Amino acid sequence: MPPRTRTGATALAAVLLAAATGCAAQDRAPEAPRRTPHPPAAPGGASAPAGFTLVASGDVLPHDSIIRQASADAGGAGYDFRPMLSGVKPVVSAADLAICHMETVYGEEGGPYTGYPAFKSPPEIAAALKETGYDSCSTASNHTLDDGAAGLRRTLDALDKAGVRHAGSARTAEEAGRPALLKAGSATVAQLAYTYDTNGYPLPEGQPWAVDLIDEQKIIADARAARRAGADVVVVSVHWGTEWQTAPDDRQLTLGRALTASTTGGRPDIDLVLGTHAHIPQAYEKVNGTWIVYGMGDQIAGDMINYEGSYDKRGNQGTLARFTFAPPAAQGGRWEVSRAEFLPQFFDTARGRVVNLNAAIGKGEEQYTETRDTIREVVLGRGAARDGLVMGE
């Protein structure tokens, strides 16, 4: 890996610093289910409803050092992000439905590509996400408009080309009004996605629908619309929280309570909330009977610089969330989470690889034990173990 040097300050960095300091890095129609086997026949010859597993992960944030690593992994001919993700591919590809968070937008084919503070990432990332096993990505973040409407369009075009669905940003009003519907087991799953801000970049002129911004009533309305469109399970991805703060902030707690309390006909409107943005792991918690992951941390990022200007290894820590959903006991009922798990992960910048910590420790890489235990303490910090959350392999 090339020598790592601190990203230089720029005028744009100064403008964005207050909103995006934690993103700085020092260079040190529903698709068919693809993994669930045919369910056994029910009495009378009909197929019994099949449950499914959902895996989700945190921010994919390609800093300059990450781009250089992808170039090196491609032998200098293009960019290959697949080796970086190979450590979690067994978990991601085994899930019936896998969701990522694509925080940045893509540059033009051939570049130039940039890291912090205004990201333009190689579009080859999209193919790597697909190869790893991801089905859909949230694309609403504070960096969604780093290269305006053109960058947004390039990103969604590249994800489409790779066969990865997306939610949270849109090229047309029609696309913005349509939830991402995916099949998993016997269920139709809707993914919705929202961000707290776009780092002060205005929405493109005449395109108020380009990026979904957090608004409690809109999220609930969108969730209800997704149900009407056929969703059995509604998943909401939210880019929220306070960077470098382990505890969920007041807005996360307030919005989380409101979203999980919303019901229609006695059935919750939202079945799972997945958080990104804080750049460090945050707690999982069951609120009003619904799981909230306040923050999954970063999945891919360079050496992260905190508000004190120091390297903070927490910025390379994260979790894979894995939830198993069981079919409802009665038609029209709720798909319940029958098993909730978290898998600690770490982006080892010295190796340029995402590490599934339990798998690595199981193979004798004891240097990761302290990091794994730190993540576990944070994730369980709001009592999730009492509601059945366990650490997975």
CATH number given to 46-391: 3.60.21.10
| Amino acid type, 273 | V
Q: How confident is the model at residue 17 (pLDDT cuts 50, 70, 90)?
A: very low
Predicted local distance difference test score (pLDDT) of residue 38? 44
- Rounded to whole angstroms, how far apart are CA atoms 25 and 64? 8
Helix (H, G, I), strand (E, B) or coil at 26: strand
Average pLDDT over residues 81-93: 98
Both tokens of 97, joined, read 């439905």
Mean pLDDT of the chain: 91
Q: Between 352 and 36, where is the model more confident?
A: 352
d(Cα 147, Cα 383) in Å, to the nearest integer? 41
The type of residue at 67 is I
- Per residue in 291-350, pLDDT (tens digit) is 999 999 999 999 999 999 999 999 999 999 999 999 999 888 999 999 999 999 999 999
- Report the b/e string of 35-66 with b at 16+ CB within 10 A: bbeeeeeeeeeeeebbbbbbbbbbbbbbbbbb
Domain boundaries defined on the chain: 46-391
**Confidence class for position 11, pLDDT limits 50, 70, 90:** very low
According to DSSP, the β-strands at 233-239 and 187-195 are: parallel
pLDDT value at residue 332: 85
Per the DSSP assignment, residues forming a β-bridge with 322 are 55, 341
What are the helix and strand counts (H, E) for the chain?
A: 11, 19
Residues 21-40, mean pLDDT to the nearest whole number = 54
The answer to whether residue 103 scores a pLDDT higher than 80 is: yes
Please determine, for residue 225, whether its predicted confidence score (pLDDT) is greater than 80. yes
SS3 134: coil
Give the residue from 105, 114, 184 showing the smallest Cα distance to 137: 105
pLDDT at 35: 60
The one-letter amino acid at 4: R
Q: Return the higher-pLDDT residue of 36 and 274.
A: 274
Q: What is the pLDDT of residue 267?
A: 97
Task: Please tell me the least confidently modeled range out of 4-8, 327-331, 351-355, 368-372.
Answer: 4-8
Residue 368 is given by DSSP the state G
Q: How much is the average pLDDT of 190-198?
A: 98
Q: Is the pLDDT of residue 62 over 50?
A: yes
Mean pLDDT of 189-204: 98
Quick check: 376 pLDDT over 70? yes
Tokens matching residue 158:
């590249």
- Long-range contacts formed by 107-116: CB under 8 A, 24+ apart: 107/147, 107/151, 107/154, 108/154, 113/67, 114/64, 115/7, 115/25, 115/62, 115/63, 115/64, 115/65, 115/66, 115/67, 115/302, 116/7, 116/13, 116/20, 116/23, 116/24, 116/25, 116/63, 116/64
Is the pLDDT reported for residue 42 higher than 80?
A: no
Q: How far apart are CA 138 and CA 156, in angstroms?
A: 11
Cα–Cα distance measured from residue 272 to residue 240, given in angstroms and rounded to the nearest whole number: 15
**R_g over Cα of the chain:** 20
Distance CA 188, CA 50 (A): 11
